[in-house]
A and B are shown apart, each in its own frame.
Chain A
Amino acid sequence: MSEPVALKLTAKDFKSDQEVRWCPGCGDYAILAAVQQFMPELNIPRERTVFVSGIGCSSRFPYYMNTYGMHSIHGRAPAIATGLSVSRPDLSVWVVTGDGDALSIGGNHLIHALRRNVNLKILLFNNRIYGLTKGQYSPTSEVGKITKSTPAGSADAPFNPLSLALGAEASFVGRTIDSDRKHLQSVLRAAAEHQGSAFVEIYQNCNIFNDGAFDQLKEPATRDDFLIRLEHGQPITFGKDGQFCVVHPPGGFGLEVRETASVRPEEIVVHNATVTDPAYAFALSRLPGLDLRNTPIGVFRSVDRPSYDSVVQDQVAAAKAAVTETPEQQLAGLLASGDTWTIR
């Protein structure tokens, strides 16, 4: 194969002529800018890139990208994108969704897209609130959340989106934060390179209905002690001075956070995103507490398994390979298959 021609695209090429209409200060602006700046790196022509979204604030995203795009209906973007991706393996298909869209009304499509390993890059903007409908609690809101629809506090436990995706055996799972452009783009890069479903949770601030939801992960005073920056092949340590680390608890299972000084260096877990058993990444996804302490970001899991698209297309290609007739001849043969008789 010859080297692909450099397209020399810039962020500007990915900006559509539509006025961006999110609330001033919304985290979505930062994500949009980061994506537009990142897309040229992929060297994929704009016409072969498609953004499909559902309903919600984040789902306005396709209108602002100068690529092909569809703003569909609530929760169904993964299903629609699956049909597109399977039938058009030449396209780069991205799904933009939110916590309500992906995990509430569209939960079924999300887990099945991940289970099938459809070649989709799914960006879930998680702001832990319903924004477009003006502030009801979402399936990622903390228990006891007081909102318009839950004046006495929400009674139901939230989903952990990454745990859910890993339970569906997603082949790529990552997390990043709207305000950290460099990190966001690094996770997008890894997601784009992945063959199969890539699921990326992006913590996104809704400054109107759930302002400051992720402040501990952003404030210079707290972030280093709260965030675990996962690096493949590196021991998992964090904190301003690397004072914390992640270990396998002796005699237990899963992962726990310890003070680095209290463990032997070889006890510190070396991050390996390619571990086949999703239990490891699942254990990572369980580390954060309610106060967001010990929140890992980065690529939790990236394993190879055949994408649904490729298996389906391989079956079609194999069936077609044996064909020597024209489609019309094939059709005439098919119509006349089975027991036929002739009247003269």
Chain B
Amino acid sequence: MAADWRRAHLVERLPQTATARSLAFTVPGWPGHLAGQHVDVRLTGDDGYQAARSYSLAAPAEGERIELGVQAVADGEVSPYLADGLPVGADVEVRGPLGFWFVWRPEQTGPVLLVGGGSGVVPLTAMIRAHREAKSPSDFQLVYSVRTPEDFWYGDLLSEGADHLDVDVLYTRRAAPGSSRAPGRISADDLRGHVSRLAGAGTVFVCGPTAFVEAVSDHLVDLGRDSGSIRTERFG
């Protein structure tokens, strides 16, 4: 497949949280992609030094326009620059789309449970958007774990009560006013009802920090879910 590096032109930057951004690029020759796939982004310094990192695609492609979700990591080499330094109108290089394991295709009709922690919601959001665009009959549920209400990405799309999507938000540090659940890490009890609704069918997609993914995977297996039906993506 030998994916080539392509020029990507930054056309729009939208804040998602204090440190997270949506970046939209136009990529001439972009071949399209599946929900859940990612790209490698490569930056080249004036001295020729190159650094590449992987970022999830946050939406289905609109022609040559792609959207990435970037969480600035405090001591990161690439992400703070992408999040706030790279000027709109500037170019980077991207390689992709990449990955065929952590993907949802509109022809999949089984029920789907998405479990995202923090910026792990980015590829799940691409699946939610693809599901909506395709008017898929597949039952979609999202369990979204965030530290505080200020850490919530894609508020318009993922708020509880959104169309065509059952969203359950779990706060780990400080809950939204009126929330009935005390703040805390995701537990098996938080997942029990969602897993029951799958009735043993479908696929569970889990994305987030490594510790989150490990904990959720363990809970799912404890709840009787076959590990072969759980697809995970960790980002350290």
Q: Do A and B bind each other?
A: no
